[in-house]
Amino acid sequence: MATRRELLRALAPLTLLPLLEARLGAAPLRRAPGGEALDSQRGRGIACALGEEADAADLPAPRRAGEHLALALSGTTPVADADRARVLGSAHCQWIEISLEDRGTVDDGPLAERIRTAASVTLVEAGVLDWLIALYPARRSSAVLHALVECAATGGRVIGRGSTAFLVAGGGVVLGAIRDAVGESRLRQANPRKLGGVRLAHGLGLSGGMVLDTHGRARGDLLRLISVLVEWHCDEGVMLFPRSALCCDLELRRWRALGPDPLIALELRGSRRGLRTLERARLSVLAAGDGWSWLDRRLSSAGEPVEFGPAAAAESLPEGLDCRRFLLAPARSRAWTHERARVEVSQVAASRAFAGPDGAAARGHGLDLCVELSRGSWGLPAD
């Protein structure tokens, strides 16, 4: 008989989607060794996380017919008709508002049914804390939240942009409470030293346990995402640039980088995490259809392999380290020092570099990432 430890280890990889399939009575997919679906009684959908300026019209089309819904909080300014295709993914989106006064008390009725059966649902940008209150009401279950997950699990498309991008992922980076404001997190901060620091907010888990942050919300600071990954013991993180798009295929269990801007993927599984250090993490720059498979945990690229450039001289940055510096042409090593930390990325045996297709810039996969904070520790505010 299996021990309790063995059972917990076997159940650890389960996400919300397999649990939902079990509740719905859907049979698991049979798969070929390469991970392709062989048959499916119930086709799964797509989850997309976009940067603030990404074009939703370029996303893959929904896999089923139905309504296109724009789910917004009450008081949100409606998107102009001319911009609906770019912002919402369809020019014919039906605008639906949820009142915060309901505090998640919307019954499992007509609204939840429309969301559950829609072809596509877009979560319109608004305050992070307001969205968390709407989807995660205190001491009760949210029919809207469960309808969104079921929409994606049964073939629909769910889109988040900017401040709502993390809702389609496992979680996102939010600001904690400060002395004179509540911040963006619903959790109270018991440690006064961490007031104003960053925290983890949970999403719908449509892309596994991935934690998202955007360049606009982070103001270019990758340490913000790294701090949450280390402090909250997460293994995967993604930084979206303004025109980045992350498209997760729930049927094939893989995600791809779309859009004109690349994205940065972090892998902390197997890394060494200290009080103020991070060693042996992996950093990859993904663009032009580069992807990652949940099944074999491997990166892929349609670009042509290229050689790494020579090691670059270490730089001192008095103005701070913007994560766009990680988009420079791949070199054997690069290092930056600024007032908060020393950061180094370097080539290792498993690292690869690619260029293209369609003129995409050269980029590195699987680079070794080491970070050492100059002061403080992970989870403390920057200032």
Residue 56 lies in a domain: yes
The C-alpha atoms of residue 377 and residue 379 are separated, in whole angstroms, by 6
CB atoms closer than 10 angstroms to residue 15: 15
Question: Under a CB-based contact definition with an 8 Å cutoff, are residues 239 and 214 in contact?
Answer: yes
The C-alpha atoms of residue 118 and residue 158 are separated, in whole angstroms, by 9
Q: For residue 202, give the nearest of 231, 171, 230 by alpha carbon.
A: 171
For 369, how many CA atoms within 13 A lie in the half-sphere containing its CB?
25
User: What's the pLDDT score for residue 336?
Assistant: 95
Residue 246 lies in a domain: yes
Question: Under a CB-based contact definition with an 8 Å cutoff, are residues 259 and 58 in contact?
Answer: yes
The C-alpha atoms of residue 203 and residue 168 are separated, in whole angstroms, by 6
Q: What angle, 0 to 180 degrees and rounded to 10, lies between the N-to-C axes of helices 143-153 and 128-135?
A: 90
Residue 38 lies in a domain: no
Question: Under a CB-based contact definition with an 8 Å cutoff, are residues 197 and 176 in contact?
Answer: yes
Residue 276 DSSP one-character state: S
Residue 117 lies in a domain: yes
The C-alpha atoms of residue 264 and residue 160 are separated, in whole angstroms, by 18
Burial class (CB in 10 A: 0-12, 13-18, 19+), 276: middle
Residue 138 DSSP one-character state: T
CATH of the domain at 87: 3.40.50.880
Q: For residue 208, give the nearest of 299, 295, 89 by alpha carbon.
A: 295
The C-alpha atoms of residue 350 and residue 303 are separated, in whole angstroms, by 17
Residue 358 lies in a domain: yes
The C-alpha atoms of residue 254 and residue 106 are separated, in whole angstroms, by 33
Task: Give how many domains the chain has, as a whole number.
Answer: 1
User: What's the pLDDT score for residue 180?
Assistant: 65
User: What's the pLDDT score for residue 76?
Assistant: 92
Q: What angle, 0 to 180 degrees and rounded to 10, lies between the N-to-C axes of helices 110-117 and 143-153?
A: 20
Residue 27 lies in a domain: no
Dihedrals phi, psi of 220, to nearest 5 degrees: 80, 5
Tokens 């498309």 correspond to 157
Segments forming the whole domain that contains residue 361: 43-373
Asked whether the bond before 357 is cis by omega within 30 degrees of 0, the reply is: yes
How many whole angstroms from its chain centre is CA 340? Answer: 25
CB atoms closer than 10 angstroms to residue 3: 8
- For the chain, the residue count is 383
**Positive or negative: CA dihedral 204, 207, 209, 211:** negative
Question: Under a CB-based contact definition with an 8 Å cutoff, are residues 198 and 228 in contact?
Answer: yes
The whole model's pTM is what?
0.85
User: What's the pLDDT score for residue 41?
Assistant: 38
Residue 13 lies in a domain: no
Cβ contacts of residue 8 below 8 Å, gap of 6+? Answer: none
Residue 49 lies in a domain: yes
User: What's the pLDDT score for residue 108?
Assistant: 60
For 188, how many CA atoms within 13 A lie in the half-sphere containing its CB?
1
As a whole number of angstroms, the longest Cα–Cα distance in the chain is 62
SS3 323: helix
Per-residue pLDDT of the chain (383 residues; tens, 9 = 90+): 445 444 444 434 444 444 444 444 444 433 333 333 333 335 899 999 999 999 999 999 999 999 999 999 998 999 999 999 999 999 999 999 988 776 545 556 788 999 999 999 999 999 898 898 888 887 777 888 899 999 999 999 999 999 999 999 999 998 776 766 676 766 666 555 566 678 888 899 888 789 999 999 999 999 999 999 998 999 999 999 999 999 999 998 899 999 999 999 999 999 999 999 999 999 999 999 999 988 888 899 999 999 999 999 999 988 778 899 999 999 999 999 988 899 999 999 999 999 999 889 999 999 999 999 988 788 777 65
